[in-house]
Amino acid sequence: MTTLRIPGLVLTDHVLDLPLDHDHPDGETVEVFAREVAAPDGRDRPFLVFLQGGPGQEAPRPSSVPAAPAWLERALRDYRVLMLDQRGTGLSTPYGAPGPDAAADAERLTHFRADAIVRDAESFRQHLGGEKWSVLGQSFGGFCSVHYLSVAPDSLREVYFTGGLTPVGRPVDDIYATTFGTMRMLNERYHRQFPGDRERLARLLDLCDAGEVLDPQGQPVSRRLLRTIGSKLGMDGGALGVHYLLERDHRSPAFAHDLAEMLPFNGRNPLYAVIHESSYADGVRTSWSSDRVQPDDFAGDSLLLTGEHLYSWHFEDSPDLRPYAEVASILAEHPWPKLYDAEVLRATDIPCAAVIYADDPFVDRTFSEETAGLLPGMRRWLTDEYLHNGLRSDGARVLDRLIGLARGTL
């Protein structure tokens, strides 16, 4: 354990050596890292655990000038915050290049889902004194929080969700099919805002077909891969970012680097792609759901931009992901265990508050409202003021409102 002081913050680092498979504590272990963040006068405040989006994403790195992430200053008025690096990310034991045995790699990665992350969190809770704590779950972190409520509700004081109320008991195909409908609407909204970009996009996609759009390593970018920049349409400010990309000359180095940054699945963080479908697998095989449920108007030469839809062809078209193709294919046919228990959730009276984004293409509002209805202690805030990253774009206001909802002061 090490402690560092920066202006306005005290940072204490914790590393635990935890079982790769929590059901076999005598087997292989991995390091899991968490950073405790406190105000100088708040080191005895109760804990708020931040569960990051993903899967396969590290926690944000805090700074104090200005306060970042945007919600941190508000959180520290009531809590000290524990930021957990999901296993395989950040300062936890990393997941890097695949090994020579794809089946062994895939088996290892079956222990990187929400169920393992929650058991890691429980290990940290015991390490830090065993008191009940609160949880803030962003996106996939909210999926982890629903699992937490299903398996260890007695550990929790209150739970806040931001764009992360996952469907419970829904087939994975229903989830992916619904997000295509939201992406269709966001595409229409985009072209109303930037009417000249329809022609720009069509021309750029034709250049992709001709092999003239290149990534920073000089590799051709396929039409279907370029269309995945549509994931940015689900974020506050993302549509403007897409517009700025499309107005660039595709031959410029800046274009290539900007495009690479906008692709949701890439080699910078392969774990996000390799285990992505598993986050929706509540007791099912996923079997490349996006491949199977993609509507006809999104197929072929379509101009529609796609969202957070992982396809099997990502591991063909993205050079950085090709080494992981066999591992991802094995995981796509893995029979995943259930993550959520609707009966336990119905019996849980822990105070919860959730912001549900009306136009969220990552986590559908209808399914989120269904899950909210399972939780007796839930108060929900349905809004179209933000897209999926409202916690990032206006974090202090979003968290303040959720705290007020959970405590009944709003």
pLDDT score at 65: 66
Considering only CA atoms, which of 85, 172, 162, 71 is closest in space to residue 121? 85
CATH superfamily of 2-169+340-407: Alpha/Beta hydrolase fold, catalytic domain (3.40.50.1820)
pLDDT score at 96: 85
Alpha carbon of residue 374 to chain centroid: 22
pLDDT score at 97: 86
Q: pLDDT by residue for the chain (410 residues), tens digit each?
A: 799 999 999 999 999 999 999 999 999 999 999 999 999 999 999 999 999 999 999 999 999 867 789 999 999 999 999 999 999 999 999 998 888 999 999 999 999 999 999 999 999 999 999 999 999 999 999 999 999 999 999 999 999 999 999 999 999 999 999 999 999 999 999 999 999 999 999 999 999 999 999 999 999 999 999 999 999 999 999 999 999 999 999 999 999 999 999 999 988 889 999 999 999 999 999 999 999 999 999 999 999 999 999 999 999 999 999 999 999 999 999 999 999 999 999 999 999 999 999 999 999 999 999 999 999 999 999 999 999 999 999 999 999 999 999 999 98
The 10s digit of each residue's pLDDT in 260-278 is: 999 999 888 899 999 999 9
Backbone angles phi, psi at 253, to 5 degrees: -55, -35
379, β-bridge pairs = 353
Q: In this structure, are residues 382 and 365 in contact, taking their beta carbons and an 8 Å threshold?
A: yes
**3-class DSSP state of 207:** helix
The 10s digit of each residue's pLDDT in 20-54 is: 999 999 999 999 999 999 999 999 999 999 999 99
pLDDT score at 330: 98
Q: Is 169 left (phi over 0), alpha (psi -120 to 50) or beta?
A: left
CA distance 357 to 369: 10
Q: How far is CA 357 from CA 161, 162, 391, 396, in A?
A: 11, 8, 11, 16
Residues of the chain with CATH 3.40.50.1820: 2-169+340-407
Would you report the helix, strand and coil content of the chain in percent, each value rounded to 5?
A: 45, 15, 40
CA distance 146 to 148: 5
